[in-house]
Chain A
């Protein structure tokens, strides 16, 4: 694997000045470690997607349908007519370069086509050539390029080197969002049957089983029961994890990684402990067992196809409203697409916290709130018995996940929670958090082993900021609220900043939460000793 070969000292030899070769030259070198495996035909067939073929990105000849040029041309045309965003963004970039060094992939690789502006130009040059007068008359001088098979390869390489994080869009004077262009670019590629395995297989799985690893209903139940057992071992309390329970007040939807991957799993324990302690009348669903929406990495249509389950299930179960767990891209979809695509949710009620009476007016239409909004409200109203000393073994910093930060603005809720459940919290430098947060480098379907070099490069700016607070404050845990972060930050930090763990916010809530009737805790939810709560007598916190 790539990470074995390249040492950090080598990988960081980054040249941010562009090469002599002009960007209009589309040739791409599919270097090992910088691209993702192609989608397998079965998954495309299952989803009814066109032009499935067997191929691999480094292949000389890709299996394109005969009329591929026509498909792309019409695909662009259709999207120009459907998306004002696309049309305006194609027209108004002035190439000021403000976005250039804002992309983590450019900062980490120095590849000029990873400057957001050039990523967009890859598609914009075709648009100019085919759809604008200047491009038709002046061609290359006006920045036009004629579509070629080589350009398709180039699109594939660079549209799957964008994590749709929207950092560029924060800095662009016109708000040009390269993520939007990448989304459209990927849609165009998928019309030709070109997709990546780690997007399309999860899509098919989510569609069929409800979650991205294809776990069947009984497996889902097993996972939750296992978590219940584990939580009992730690706290001495047996909690309830209802599944598909009709008539519950609340449907809870989390990213599926929460119930089978680590360290997500400890966040799941945190949710379970919290809901039990409150006595919340809620249910999980095995059918809508994935909040994460891989459709976002594929096409608008796939977003809708997968997201539809949440409202359909809420209706079937007869719940009143919905809470969503810790996940990044899931929340982009829930906040910016769900209601428009699959609403109106007029069969639900505006969420009201049963414990504080707070009416979540900001979710009056979607009827779905983020768990951190729910928990922050509880803490503010003193509804939880919290002992932050139980997180004293952690010195924490917080990573804003791209989507909650830049497609939602969920910035203070998690910080408020963290400050109430932990005593040691330090922010990373200002230009690397909140709306300027740096991506984990592995989002939007790019978190694969075969793509490891690019992931390490893309995650470098984030890792570097973590390194800074590690040196300065001794930070040993990076908190986050995203399933992809929890999966991909651990290897990233292990490579660049060894010694820093990754944890969810509700894992720390679970640690700090003092439950009625619990046995004295000696370990945290990971089963690891907590500072001052060990079995060994005479530790300082015991006498308090």
Chain B
């Protein structure tokens, strides 16, 4: 099974880091060499992929229009769903990237009542909600980690953290994002297992990133709430890494190395995987182009002459019948 392969892969990775970091030299490997390698792979890989996309031209302006075009002045143009200019495109892209607008449209096709059947397309916002919860929590948690890499910690990062901890009123010291990210990932993975259509289309490459993220979030949360790790030591390591003078303090827990290693795997894996959708969405020609083809000509850099059938060829073939039918001709 495709999800089993992914599960085993993630467990093996966790085990390797947990036990590997305990061996001699293991700490340096997992604490310094692998993180550097992962970041290098990430940066090089993402650049390679993004430049690869950028290299292929956009021959045609093929925006998918999801609203009224701009035509007559008294008909209201839906600027965000069918933009005719740069501002509209920016708005449309912002809504897509920040709020997953297209996913928000999601419906579910169901057949009601047979044989006098009727299709019903009810709104289905769960996927949108799950995706939004995951991506936003991930972003916030990612930013929060900045506190390990800066001294003093920027006020914004601290502010974010206290905002995140609003729930502490009810549940002591639990951050909302931690709950959300784990809940969202469980949902997103769960639907890959339970929903028959999604299960059918899912590849190992779909289960793996979810499980990897789940293990990252799980180990992170475990360290935060259950096994108190040596935060001072971790910060020392992090600061060493960013200042290119790495030191591995003694006494860092294997669980920390496991967490760090999983993050490294995530970074290294990112550019060769579907996770590149993060960059790709900015390149999607159906979304990032204005629907103004008729107002402003789009240039195709490789437009080439093709074999056409000219009027002269046409008239040469049909001149007699055209004349017989009293139709005007160029040559008598």
A: which residues have CB within 8 A of B? 9, 12-14, 16-18, 23, 48, 80-89, 91-98, 100-102, 107, 112, 115, 117-118, 121, 132-134, 141-143, 166, 169-177, 180, 207-210, 216-218, 221-222, 243-246, 286-287, 300-301, 304-305, 308-309, 312-313, 316, 334-337, 339-341, 343-344, 358, 360-366, 368, 373, 376-377, 380, 405-413, 416, 429, 431-432, 434-436, 460-461, 464-465, 467-468
Contact = CB atoms under 8 A, between A and B. Distances in A.
B294 A335 contact: yes
A54 B106 CA distance: 44
Interface of B: 2, 5, 49, 52-72, 74-76, 78, 81-82, 84, 96, 100, 102-103, 105-109, 111, 114-115, 117-119, 121, 127, 131, 195-198, 200-206, 272-274, 276-277, 280-281, 283-287, 291-300, 302-303, 306-311, 314-315, 317-318, 321-322, 324-325, 327-328
Contacts, number: 319
A174 B65 CA distance: 14
13 contacts: A12-B117, A81-B56, A82-B56, A115-B201, A141-B204, A171-B107, A221-B327, A246-B328, A305-B309, A362-B292, A408-B69, A413-B72, A468-B118
Contacts of A175: 64, 96, 102, 281, 284-287
A373 to B, nearest CB: 5
A166 to B, nearest CB: 6
Contacts of A97: 127, 195, 197-198, 201
Contacts of B286: 85, 169, 175-177, 180
A101 B285 CA distance: 23
Contacts of A312: 308, 310-311
B321 A95 contact: no
B203 to A, nearest CB: 4
A358 B73 CA distance: 9
Contacts of B108: 101
Contact of B72 (A95, A207, A373, A460): A373
Between B118, B121, B204, B300, the greatest number of chain A beta carbons within 10 A of the residue's beta carbon is seen for B121
Contacts of A96: 103, 127, 131, 198
Contacts of B306: 301, 304-305, 308
Contacts of B96: 173, 175
A217 B320 CA distance: 10
Nearest to B66: A435
Contacts of B307: 48, 305
Nearest to B196: A17
Contact of A173 (B131, B309, B325): B131
Contacts of B109: 16, 101-102, 107, 461
A366 B293 contact: yes
Contacts of B327: 217-218, 221, 243-244, 286
A435 B67 contact: yes
